[in-house]
Chains A and B, each alone.
Chain A
Amino acid sequence: KQEVTQIPAALSVPEGENLVLNCSFTDSAIYNLQWFRQDPGKGLTSLLLIQSSQREQTSGRLNASLDKSSGRSTLYIAASQPGDSATYLCAVRHFQGGSEKLVFGKGTKLTVNP
């Protein structure tokens, strides 16, 4: 059974700092990995999608890497801003129980202090 773990569970940094969020998964047979952002009480916003054949994806100040063989992904946020404060969720898409599914980690709650 696929399990996704995110470390740390919470992170507080001063504005302007670069930071890394970690995600690990137990079964490397994945289709892709997706990073999401969730603001309190809201739905999920997709940030980056990395296919299993890719090593990294970039969007603005965000860079996500994938090492499928070791079951790890990182989300790098450059020059953090207070508006980046949110919970960041990692999810892997894999085949289980006869269909493909998205399995989520518990998230990292990020606070960027002005």
Chain B
Amino acid sequence: SAVISQKPSRDICQRGTSLTIQCQVDSQVTMMFWYRQQPGQSLTLIATANQGSEATYESGFVIDKFPISRPNLTFSTLTVSNMSPEDSSIYLCSVSGRVSDTQYFGPGTRLTVL
């Protein structure tokens, strides 16, 4: 299993600012993902964080709004840029080894944008 930590656990931000969320895993993992969970909704995949190359974004998500870094196999960051109240969500980091493996999730970052 993988133990995942995220920082910050929660934040309240002003409209127009940016927030960077950090994800740290206790072991090297092949795949890292970022998800968003809007209030009362299920999880939506934002992007796959690729080590050493640009992230792969899902339809509806763009790099300018959600830049992602993954400098090594245990760490990734997600930035939510130029925030609006619609960005208020829980942001979750997730990791997996092989496709057949269990996918694990971090505790999430609860973001409120005023």
A-B contact count (CB 8 A): 52
- The range of chain B's interface size is 20 to 34
The stretch from A13-21, A38-46, A60-68, A70-78 touching chain B is: A38-46
Q: Does B43 contact A (CB under 8 A)?
A: yes
A44 with B92: CB separation less than 8 A: yes
Cross-chain contact B43 with A89 (CB below 8 angstroms) = yes
Contact indicator per residue, chain B 77-112, by CB within 8 Å of chain A (1) or not (0): 000000000000010101000011111111110100
Is A104 positioned at the interface, with any CB of B under 8 Å from its CB?
yes
A45 and B105 alpha carbons, distance in the complex (Å) = 7
Q: How far is the CA of A99 from the CA of B102 in the complex (A)?
A: 17
Contact in complex: A104, B110 (CB < 8 Å): no
Residue of B nearest to A32 (CB): B100
On chain A, the number of residues with a Cβ less than 8 Å from chain B's Cβ atoms is 25
Interface centre among A42, A44, A91 (most CB of B within 10 A): A44
Residues of A with C-beta under 8 A to B106: 43
Interface pairs (20), CB distance under 8 Å: A31-B100, A32-B100, A34-B103, A41-B90, A41-B108, A42-B108, A43-B108, A46-B102, A46-B103, A49-B102, A89-B42, A89-B43, A91-B103, A93-B103, A98-B56, A99-B48, A99-B56, A102-B103, A105-B42, A106-B42
> Which residues on B are within 8 Å of A, measured CB to CB?
33, 41-45, 48, 56, 58-59, 90, 92, 94, 99-108, 110
